[in-house]
Amino acid sequence: MSVPTNEEQQGYQGARLAATVLLIRDGAEGLEVWVQERVSSMRNYPGMTVFPGGGVDPRDFPAKTWDSGPLWSGTSAVAMARRMRSTKVKAHALVFAAVRELFEETGTLLAIHADGREVTDAHPFHADRLALESHRLSLTDVLDRNHLKVRSDLLAPFARWIGTSAAGNAFDTFSFLAVAPEGQDTDGDTSEAASAGWLPPRLLLEGWRVGLVRLVIPTWAQLQILAAADSVVEALDLARQADMRPVIGDPSGDPRYREFYTTVRPDRIGGSRR
């Protein structure tokens, strides 16, 4: 297969494709999700509490093969595309972007060794993590040089939101649910985050209500869904039922999001209340 065209690399109405990952685990008091507060210097969503993620890199798209290639394992790109209501080419790129962004921002690597062994320690790939973050290497480069394959079956499609940031950038964002791999240590060692950590979804929502956490509507909405789960097993069940029809634009008139738009919260941290 040839390199995808510009149109094939774009999201809804030319928006940039992006991927976010809701990384979850069972904590001492129930389900926890990894979140990070973006540094104030970021162009898009500064100071907001978000899930790891970012825009799709052109190098995340397949150059010659879209399915069952040497760097891919797990659920086929065709099956992922069907679940995501997308094309197989975009599904491939979004899975690669999700794996890449999660590794860059948390040190968690959703991959498997070529011989089938699980990746239980991502520390040996730290130099590659830095090279990914600085764009010196692509995820394909990292996988190839370390004889690794992406584990697509570790990513469960969870939501799709299409909107524009305050900076005026349009994103078509696909979110995935992923369980923290056993043995791997998650960290917030990224230049994009002022702080990061594991927190219960319900606690994050309560922090938003009292003005201690800044959330944009897609993050708020996905936390609302996660808050209904008490464990990883329950969260994965929610992912299997997830509605992947896109939410487009500002859904202020949708009753599902009324609380976000009508709640008057104290401004404890300054700036935007949302």
Nearest to 4 by CA among 92, 74, 116: 92
Chain-centroid distance, C-alpha 6: 23
Rounded Cα distance between 5 and 205, Å, is 41
**Mean pLDDT along residues 59-82:** 81
Indicate the domain borders of the chain. Answer: 7-262
The predicted-structure confidence for 142-154, as pLDDT tens digits, reads as follows 999 999 999 999 9
User: What is the average pLDDT across 241-247?
Assistant: 96
List of residues 6+ apart from 15 with CB closer than 8 A:
162, 170, 171, 172
pLDDT in tens, 173-223: 999 999 999 999 999 887 777 788 999 999 999 999 999 999 999 999 999
pTM score, whole prediction? 0.92
Q: Is the pLDDT of residue 123 over 50?
A: yes
| Whole-angstrom distance, CA of residue 226 vs CA of residue 96 | 24
7-262: CATH architecture: Alpha-Beta Complex (3.90)
Residue (of 80, 108, 29, 117) closest to 244 by Cα position: 80
The whole-number pLDDT of residue 92 equals 93
Does residue 94 contact residue 174 with C-beta atoms inside 8 Å?
yes
Tell the burial category of 179 from Cβ atoms under 10 Å away from its Cβ (0-12, 13-18, 19+). Answer: middle
Go through 197-216 and write b for each residue having 16 or more CB atoms within 10 A of its CB, e for each that does not: eebbbbebbebbeeeebbbb
| Model pLDDT for residues 157-185, shown as the tens digit of each residue | 999 999 998 888 899 999 999 999 999 99
Backbone φ and ψ for 164, nearest 5 degrees, come out as -120, 135
